[in-house]
A and B are shown apart, each in its own frame.
Chain A
């Protein structure tokens, strides 16, 4: 579904990614783990068009997207819930959610999707007319995901959804991510690319995993296999 091939990204003189390649298959949760500054967010930003790669190519369902502006990539179905949540804090929860459906014009389907998002995140229903800036961190993360879902993503890019959240809320969020990915009768079957520092949680729900270190992929494989490997356990899972 998504093919990232040898992508390099530079911010001025600093090279953030050198030749990153990864593949996301339809229906999977793929996770990209690594420490701070490894280039995880940059990879997502390159996929959603927010930064332009200096080399390499990105294909979504066979279409080259690395030269497209971000708003066109969203229309293809690649939707990101940005890092730091990127919610519109002076707007209400409702307005935030509606902006997620910005690329769509089918009013009834939008209303139905809004209802679905509320079922997924009952907390948001309680806060629907509050300013998004007054929500707690966990609620803001829920809002960011709900907003991204409103665009009916075929590929959902999640940037550190657990960042700065209490363990219990992290559990809730990951449960929802798994539900979103579940095949149709239960979930939406959304393909997800998940960037995480919390390797334990990420590897637990992902099908496939990549490890990013200083701008390059150093390991990859089925998530369970990576979780069992000594190197990953030592570096990311706190094991000995």
Chain B
């Protein structure tokens, strides 16, 4: 439990101390890194531990994001009658509310937490449904099937009914609880086609959303326009708590008998069977656990300010990004995945000033790393297994630390 506590403290420090002191842009970058870490480490559980090459991880990310988004979108509307954030200090300050009056954790945070869990569970269920038939396949065939899975999710999201379109809506309708700033009359927001003839404004989305029956929730997630209007709860605190839990879970898994079964499948599937490992069952388990954490990360992604959750979230470009992190870090190395997640997230941003060379340098960096470290940065090992650290430790005469837990980059 100690690593989790460290993770909790780390996440709180990130939100309360680091964020106010680094400015908005770096803070957003640090937030992206945290989500990338969760995604990379969750994919490590399948691609790294069991050696099964899954290429549809973004599918789980998107499904988790939509599921979690639906929970807060409709939940917030039903409970508070609006879709503003009702969080505390740890999830960042809602618009126009004095931070001094806020609790550490607000009511909205609990809704958000529930949404993350729902997102994870829905993704895990999907992981089970997809894994059961497809994990009987091996190698390239599995890769193709999982790639197809991601695309199916993408197309299905695109085909949900897009009945909303952007229109001006009176401020009071959108933010009933907030005072209207001077000079602002209406807010551009998504509304239904029905126009109120008296005001010429769109029928409030809230009314429609509040009336939506549970079986019909998918008709209001925006189709190919993207799912907008999700309250933005995601903060550095939540991101790094999730990252800590994901890393912690991955380490516990790697050290447990259950997780050793995963590793044995990667090493030699036939020998694993001969040792009594039900390889199909464990592969499906790996898929389910990995999908769960991807779904939770998807929930974080969906509730991030400035992020448009859309069908493209499930696309193969996103899947490739995550695969690059896992392969770059070294298949099976948790610390490697964490480091690679940082590198792959920061690198494109660092090159933003020279946009014309950005992709070239990015590609070149990846190619060079693969040439000089073909098994990834760390291979199947963790960073503290490397000879340099062993030497340092021997000199210090201390025992190797067991689990690094939550304190990542």
Residues of A whose CB lies within 8 Å of any CB of B are: 48-50, 69-71, 74-75, 79-82, 86-91, 95, 98-100, 102-103, 147, 151
Contact = CB atoms under 8 A, between A and B. Distances in A.
A95 B260 CA distance: 8
A74 B264 contact: no
B210 interface: no
B267 A82 contact: no
B17 interface: no
Contact of A99 (B260, B266, B278, B279): B260
A89 B264 CA distance: 9
A162 to B, nearest CB: 19
A80 B274 contact: yes
B193 interface: no
Contacts of B277: 71, 99, 102
A147 B272 CA distance: 11
B88 to A, nearest CB: 44
A184 B211 CA distance: 76
Contact of B275 (A69, A89, A90, A99): A99
Contact of B276 (A71, A81, A82, A90): A71
B172 interface: no
A240 B261 CA distance: 50
A103 B260 CA distance: 12
Given A90-B332, A91-B263, A95-B260, A102 B270 contact: no
Interface residues of B, number: 20
A99 B274 contact: no
A157 to B, nearest CB: 9
A100 B275 contact: yes
Interface string B254-283: 000100110110111011111111110000
B271 A87 contact: yes
A202 B355 CA distance: 70
A126 B150 CA distance: 48
A48 to B, nearest CB: 6
Given A98-B257, A98-B260, A102-B261, A91 B267 contact: yes
B260 A71 contact: no
Contact of A50 (B257, B264, B270): B270
Nearest to B282: A71
B276 A74 contact: yes
Tell me which of B260, B268, B275 has the highest count of chain A C-beta atoms within 10 A of its own C-beta.
Answer: B275
B380 interface: yes
Contacts of B263: 88, 90-91, 95
Given A82-B270, A102-B257, A88 B276 contact: no
B336 to A, nearest CB: 13
Contacts of B257: 98, 102
24 contacts: A49-B273, A50-B270, A70-B273, A70-B276, A71-B277, A71-B278, A74-B275, A74-B276, A79-B274, A82-B271, A86-B268, A86-B270, A86-B271, A88-B264, A90-B267, A90-B332, A91-B260, A91-B263, A91-B267, A98-B260, A99-B260, A99-B277, A100-B275, A102-B257
Interface in B354-409: 380
